[in-house]
Amino acid sequence: MNLTAFLALVRKDLVLYFSNRRALVMSILAPIVIAAFFGAIFGAGMEKPSRIAIGLADLDASAVSKAVAAAVQADPAFDVRTGDEAAVVALARAGKVRASVVLPPGFGEQARNALVAGADKPVVAVHYDPSQATAMTLVRGLLSQHVMKALGDSLAGAGGAGSPGVTLPAGMTIPAAIAMPRASAFSLPFTTRAVESTASADKPYNGYAHSFAGMGVQFILFMGIEVGVGVLLARRLGLWKRLRAAPISRALLLGSHIASGALTALVLLAIIYAAAIGIFHVRIDGSIAGFVGIAIAFALLTSSFGLLIAAIGKTPEATRGLAIFATLVMVMLGGAWVPSFIFPPWLQTASLVVPTRWAVDGLDAMTWRGLGFDAAIAPIAMLLAFSALFAAIAIWRFDWEEPRG
Amino acid sequence: MLEARGLCKSYGGRAVVADLSLTVGAGEIVGLLGPNGAGKSTTVAMLCGLVGADRGAVFVGSDASRLALDENAHAAKRRIGVVPQELSIYENLGAAANLELFGALYGMAGALLRERVAAALALVGLADRAGDKPQSFSGGMKRRLNIAAALVHDPDVLIFDEPTVGVDPQSRNAIFDNLESLRERGKALLYTTHYMEEAERLCDRVVIMDHGQVVASDTLAGLYKRLPAVETLELEVDGSVDLDALAHQPGIDRPTQDGTRLRAGVSDLGRTAPALLSWLAANGHAVHRISSGRAELEDVFLSLTGRQLRD
């Protein structure tokens, strides 16, 4: 191999890229700014989960419904705004609260009768903001807990120490199991203790770690697009002709692009993580060797992706647009924007065929999850496999001859 | 120095180059002329090793060290310098850095590379701009740097693919001076162009291509001898002249009309010019201006192919 030519080509690509201020800003500043934004809104620095805003209208005003309302308002998971039915429904519709609960007239009595005598259940309307439907499950669960507790207290009072406002239908007796001491009636038989599942107990979760992994992957892939588009531009400008006229092999020519693209990606990732560590206190709590291995494998993936673009692209303009779209789909499915565990189960499985998923998960594993090198082996292997696949397709599809008239 | 023997190339069943042969000797500039679609670019691509020929071969070097391009591609390519039609330089790399890169592609390094870069820049008159980026150059300076990039490895054969497209007259003259200097140094130069005046000024021999084939290959003097008329008459006339009828007049060769401009070859200026003026007057065409001149390469091309070079 003509090492002099290879090094000259690699050096040329690096000089051209790093002397392009606009490209540098796009590749370094943009991911840092966006990762900081995502990190801030997705839990970075939060000491406890945020409260869920809900609306509550008590149309019953019975002892039970009042007890439910009081319990809901006292629940640290909720930020409760009360009012009449129209007011709280309007709050949900306006997006001011995630859901509004309406306790209907007769709620307390109907609920008690349903519980002890199998009578019809009252219908509690929960008006929820469809754009924040994930809160619905939580609201329903906590509401059930508070209603059961209030009913239990009510029934315990009726059968024991006496509870104001509680009267049983004629001839009905309270089963012994229900007529229990107030303290334990229908309350949860356990309590929970929240423990962050991070590298260790003394290292709290840093939401910036995931957002920097995601945005780093996204913007470095954008750089990979520029590698491919650069080859297409070189072909258009005639530079490719001059390079091909030189006594160098095709492998050396393509190999130099892979090497320079990978080196550029590696440098960018290092700078982005330097900012993440220095400014946003992201830590590599897992294996440093694993982190470096994943970074190198992802850098190779980036350059082979660029080469693939150069091989299958036609014009630089059209290719850039399509490649950006493909990259955005890849990073979206890879969990770069939101963690992949939010995806439905089928998508979590399907997204395993997307290389970005392995890059993001791998970087997460080596940073905030604090896992060892063994957790890096699969991501590294998969990223290298995808790199080899992309490079093979690129070499297969690369058009070396330019038709002439 | 450079020999193409029986080159053939087809795309999609259409023959773009068919059995093309040519030679370029040391210290010689050979012009490769042809209209668009004649097959010049494909020929150049095969001579540079960018495109493989379906048949035929390209040889580089003298008898003792002759290399076949398809058998010793890298060694043969080291002896060839290519100046593509497009500006094939990196606008964001300095002039010297561009040449260092292209020299390195040919295996050059260290002091030898620096020496060759300086020599190439000096030859094209850019020694004082070595550190500047081409993005700050004029069009003519970029063209000269484009040429220097092909010279840095000191090749024996230089192939120029329309190197003066879009260049102002002053820069064009500077480029011609560079090419003549290279010829004096014993380089073999193949020069494709659309401009007849360039071929007439520079080329020792001219190869004319049409439809993928060589239709003529000769010195300029030899080509002029092929013309039935060695003089031309150019007149400014009223109305549309019946060219078929005019072509049958004695001594008139291949008349053409472009607007009011009537042009025809004449074999005997003294006899034919008065007869032509009489014929035009008899056919109702007033003549406002008349001039005569020697036939040009454009006329040779028209005579050989039946079309203008830039058709």
CA distances from A387 to A2, A60, A376, A381, B61 (A): 24, 65, 16, 10, 43
* Polymer length in residues for chain A: 405
**Residue A20 at interface with chain B, using a CB cutoff of 8 Å:** yes
User: Closest to B82 (Cβ–Cβ): which among A15, A242, A402?
Assistant: A242
A250–chain B Cβ distance below 8 A for any pair: no
CA–CA dist B58, B76 (Å, integer): 9
Best A7, A12, A249, A399 member to test B by mutation, with max B CBs in 10 Å, is: A12
- Rounded to the nearest angstrom, the minimum Cα separation between B15 and chain A is 9
From chain A, the residues in CB contact with B39 under 8 A are 404-405
Residues belonging to chain B with any Cβ–Cβ distance to chain A shorter than 8 Å: 11, 16, 36-37, 39, 41-42, 45, 48-52, 73-75, 77-78, 80, 82, 84-90, 92-93, 97, 100-102, 104-109, 149-150
How far apart, in Å, are the Cα atoms of A327 and each of A227, A271, B188?
Answer: 14, 21, 49
What percentage of chain A carries pLDDT values higher than 90?
Answer: 45
The pLDDT score that the predictor gives to residue B224 is 77
Task: Compute the nearest-CA separation of A231 from chain B (Å).
Answer: 13
Using DSSP bridges, classify how beta strands B252-258 and B261-266 pair: parallel, antiparallel or unpaired: antiparallel
Residue position matching structure tokens 């239990």: A152
Give the distance from residue A6's alpha carbon to the nearest chain B alpha carbon, in angstroms.
8
pLDDT in tens, A55-75: 999 999 999 999 999 999 998
Rg (CA), chain B: 23
CB atoms A12 and B90 under 8 Å: yes
How many A-B residue pairs are in contact by the CB < 8 A criterion? 96
Residue B170: predicted pLDDT: 82
DSSP A44: T
Average pLDDT score, chain A: 84
Best to test chain A binding among B88, B108, B159 (most A CBs inside 10 Å): B88
pLDDT in tens, chain B (311 residues): 899 999 999 988 889 999 999 999 999 999 998 888 888 889 999 999 989 999 999 999 887 788 989 889 999 999 999 999 888 999 999 999 999 999 999 999 999 999 999 999 998 989 999 999 999 998 889 999 999 999 999 999 999 988 888 778 888 888 898 899 999 999 999 999 877 788 888 999 999 888 889 988 988 888 877 766 667 888 999 999 999 999 898 888 888 898 899 988 887 788 888 999 999 999 999 999 998 887 677 777 777 776 665 55
The answer to whether B41 contacts A4, with C-beta atoms less than 8 Å apart, is: no
Q: What pLDDT was estimated at residue A339?
A: 77
Chain A contact set for B34 (CB, 8 A):
none
- A193 SS3 class: coil
Q: Hey, of B41, B43, B46, B101, which one would you mutate to test binding to chain A, going by the most A CBs within 10 A of its CB?
A: B101
pTM for this structure? 0.74
Q: What is the pLDDT of residues A251-293, one digit of tens each?
A: 999 999 999 999 999 999 999 999 999 999 899 999 999 999 9
Residue with tokens 């590698």: A227
Contacts of A404 in chain B (CB under 8 A): 11, 16, 39, 41-42, 45, 51
Nearest beta carbon to residue B16 from set A8, A248, A404: A404
Least CA distance to A401: which residue of chain B? B51
Interchain pair A15, B109: CB under 8 A: no
Nearest chain A CA: its distance from B296 CA (Å): 27
Q: Cα A189 to the chain's mean position, in Å?
A: 33
Beta-carbon contacts of B100 under 8 Å, excluding residues fewer than 6 positions away, are A8, B113, B114, B117
Cβ contact, residue pair B105, A248, below 8 Å: yes
Taking a C-beta distance cutoff of 8 angstroms, is the pair A365, A286 a contact? yes
Residue B90 and residue A4: Cβ atoms within 8 Å?
A: no
- Rounded to an integer, the average pLDDT of A191-202 is 60
**For chain B, how many residues are written?**
311
pLDDT at A166 over 60: no
A7, A241, A248 member nearest B84 (Cβ): A241
Q: Hey, of B43, B50, B108, B113, which one would you mutate to test binding to chain A, going by the most A CBs within 10 A of its CB?
A: B50
What distance in Å separates residue B89's CA from the closest CA in chain A? 6
Task: Let me know: does B24 contact B2? Beta carbons within 8 Å.
Answer: yes
Q: How far is A5 from chain B (nearest CA, A)?
A: 4
Q: Is A241 on the interface with B (CB under 8 A)?
A: yes
In the numeric block, the tokens 């508070």 are attached to A146
Nearest to B264 by CA among B239, B229, B236: B229
Q: Which residues of A153-164 are buried (b: 16+ CB within 10 A; e: fewer)?
A: bbbbbbbeeebe
The pLDDT value recorded for residue B172 is: 85
Q: Do A8 and B77 touch (CB under 8 A)?
A: no
CA distance B289 to chain A (A): 41
Sheet holding B67-68: strands in order across?
A: B14-24, B2-11, B55-60, B67-68
Q: Is A21 on the interface with B (CB under 8 A)?
A: no
